[in-house]
Amino acid sequence: MAEPNIADRRPCVQEVEPGTYFWCSCGKSETQPFCDGSHKGTEFVPVKHEVTEKAPVAWCLCKHSAGQPLCDGSHAKLPK
């Protein structure tokens, strides 16, 4: 399995409105943390995430979270 690009070594925290979001899993999107189609031609696919009420969300940008698309602190364990 290919390794994703690390977009950042910290999460992107945003207040989000209810709706459907497609999180970038490849790390190549220019519109982080969301998919812009940059994964095309790779084994990566965007992760669909439903938000039911307005709330702060910590999106994973290191792309290594076990709780994708949300940050679980995995960025702290990545080699420098």
Q: Concatenated DSSP letters for 31-63?
A: TTTB--STTTTSS---EEEEE-S-EEEEE-SSS
The amino acid sitting at 63 is K
- Sketch the domain layout of the chain as residue ranges: 1-61
Query: pLDDT of 24-57, one tens digit each?
Result: 999 999 999 999 999 999 999 999 999 999 999 9
Number of neighbouring beta carbons within 10 Å of residue 21 = 19
- Predicted TM-score of the model (pTM): 0.94
